[in-house]
Amino acid sequence: MMRDTIAAIATGSGRSAIGIVRLSGPDSLKGVERLFTPASGKPLSDYPPSSLVYGVLRDAEGRVIDRCLATYSLGPRSYTGEDTAELQCHGSPAVLHSALEALFSLGIRQAEAGEFTRRAFLNDRMDLTQAEAVIDLIDAETAAAARCAASQLGGSLRRRIEHIYDELVNLMAHFDVVLDYSDEDLDPFDESEITESVGKAAKELQQLAATYRRGRRLYDGVPCAIVGRPNSGKSSLLNALLGYDRAIVTDIPGTTRDTVEEKAEVGGVLLRLIDTAGLRDTEDTVERIGVERSRQALERAELALVLIDGAKEITQEDLDILHLAQNVPNVIVLSTKADEPDFTLPDLPQAIGFSSVTGEGMERLEREIAARFPEGGADSGEILTSQRQAQAIARAAECLQSVFDAMAMGMTPDAVLSDVELAMDALGEVIGRSVKEDVTQRIFDRFCVGK
C-alpha cells in the first residue's frame, strides 16, 4: 500500500457533460468528506461503499464549486487495491481544476501519468499485460482492437502465458527438490520430462510470438499504399474511404506531389492509408521527389490498392506499377471511372470496378480487405500487442529451443536448465512475476519438503 494519496482529473481536457476527479490512497475518503457534503446531511462514510451520493462540493474556504455526485471504495476491493474515491462533477474544466486545487490544499498530491494503474499493478490488482491493456483499450480505434484489449484486461493473455510459466516452474521445482532432498521419497527426475515439457512450451511460445504482427495491425493499422498513374483517382479513393475530403482532387495530373497518410476502418480492418503521388517519369523536381516517396511507401506497404483508369486503355505505365506492386504481400486492383472493368491481368484476380462518386464496388472492396486480414485471436485477446511483450516471448522461445536442442545432443539437465530459468525470467517480464520466489514457493507447496 502506498502511504500518500493522489488525485487527478480522469476525463478528457475539454468541456463535457460529466467530468471525474479520482483519488487513491489512505486519505481518499477523508479528503472528499472535507469538501463534499451529502444533501442528506450524513457523512459520505455513512453510506455503503460504491454508493453514488448527491451533494455539494466546496473548496477549502467553503465556497461552492459544484453540486455533484461522490462515491468511494475501500481497499483492497478497488481498482488500485487502495481506498479510492471519485467526484463526478459537471464537465467544466474550471470546475474540475477547482476541485483538484481544493484537494491539493489538503495535502493530497497530483497523480503522475499512469500512477493509478501502476498502483493497481503494485497492489496485485492486475499484472503487466492487464496494465498494458488499459492503454490499448483507450487507444483502440476499431471494435476489434477494443475487444482484444478488453479480453486482455480480463486476463486472457496472462492466463495463456501463466500456463506455460507454471509448467516450467513445476519442472524446475521437481529438479531442485530431487537434487537437494535425495533422501526424501520423491518421484525420480526423468530427462524425458525436460524434452517433453520444454518442447511443448517452446512450440506454444513460438506460436504466440507469431501473433505480434497481427496484434500491432489492430492498433497501428495495416500500411496500405494507394498507387496508380497520375489522375487515376487515388485521392478520390482516399477521400471516399475516409468519408471526408482530405486530399485535393482535380483533373490536372500530378496534383498530389507528396504522400498523404490517414487512418480509416475498412471492412473492419484499420488501414494506414497512404495516398501517393502518381507514378510516372517527370522532369518536375518536386513531383519527382513525391514519386520517389511513393515508391518507398509501396516498399513498406502490406496492402497495395492499385488504381487503373478503366475509361482508358491500359498503358505501359500501368503495367510498370503492377510490376512494382508484386513485392507487396497483398494487392487489390481497382478499375476506376468505369462501371465494370473490361480487362483481366495475368497472375492477379479480376479487377474490382470502383466509383468514388457512387460508391459502386465499396462493399466488394471491404469484403476483400476483411478476407485478407482476418481478426484471428482478437476477440480472445490471446495475441501480443506490444513490442516489449513480443521481444520477451521471442527470447523465452529461443532459450527453450536451445534447451530442447541441447538435450537432443545428449547434454545433462544441470547443464541446460539454466536456460529454462532465462526463459522464465523473460516470461516473468511479460506478466511481472519473480522466478526464484515462485520456484521456492512451489517446492514447499507441492512437494511437502521437511514433513
3-state helix/strand/coil string of 401-428 = HHHHHHHHCCCCHHHHHHHHHHHHHHHH
Average pLDDT, integer, range 18-36: 95
Which DSSP symbol is given to 247?
A: S
Query: What distance in Å separates the CA atoms of residue 195 and residue 173, rounded to the nearest whole number?
Result: 16
Least confident interval from 79-83, 188-192, 378-382, 397-401: 188-192
Overall average pLDDT of the 306-320 stretch? 82
Please answer whether residues 260 and 249 qualify as being in contact, where contact means their C-beta atoms are separated by less than 8 angstroms. Answer: no
Tens of pLDDT along 249-284? 444 444 444 467 888 888 888 998 888 765 555 555
C-alpha cell, 214: 497481427
Query: What values do phi and psi take at 364, rounded to 5?
Result: -65, -40
Distance of CA 388 to CAs 129, 209, 384, 391, Å? 10, 11, 9, 5
What's the predicted TM-score (pTM) here? 0.75
> In which band, very low, low, confident or very high, does the pLDDT at 46 lie, cut at 50, 70 and 90?
very high
Residue 252 is predicted with a pLDDT of 40
Residue in the block written with cell 471491404: 366
DSSP classification of residue 413: H
Using CB atoms within 10 A of its CB, is residue 9 exposed (0-12), middle (13-18) or buried (19+)? Answer: buried
CB atoms within 10 A of CB 84: 26
What type of residue sits at position 14?
G
Q: How confident is the model at residue 443 (pLDDT cuts 50, 70, 90)?
A: very low
**pLDDT at residue 435, as a whole number:** 52
> Would the pLDDT of 236 be above 90?
no
Measured CA to CA, the distance from residue 116 to residue 41 in angstroms comes to 31
pLDDT in tens, 73-130: 998 999 999 999 999 999 999 999 999 999 999 999 998 888 888 888 888 898 888 8
Q: Which residue has the cell 497501428?
A: 220
Q: What does the pLDDT average to over 12-41? A: 93
Specify the pLDDT at position 43.
95
Give the type of residue at 141. E
**Grid coordinates 459544484 are at which residue?**
66
Classify residue 70 as exposed, middle or buried by CB count within 10 Å of its CB (0-12, 13-18, 19+): buried
| pLDDT level of residue 26 (50, 70, 90 thresholds) | very high
Percent above pLDDT 70 for the chain? 81
CA distances from 205 to 36, 65, 324, 413 (A): 52, 54, 36, 21
Residue 170, pLDDT score: 83
| CA–CA gap between residue 343 and residue 339 (Å, rounded) | 12
- Specify the pLDDT at position 320: 82
Peptide bond before residue 76 is cis, with ω within 30 degrees of 0: yes
Please report the pLDDT score of residue 391 as a whole number. Answer: 92
152, amino acid identity = Q
Q: Lowest mean pLDDT: which of 288-292, 340-344, 367-371, 413-417?
A: 340-344
Cell triple for residue 442?
512451489
Phi, psi (rounded to 5 degrees) for 224:
-130, 110
Q: What's residue 248's pLDDT?
A: 43
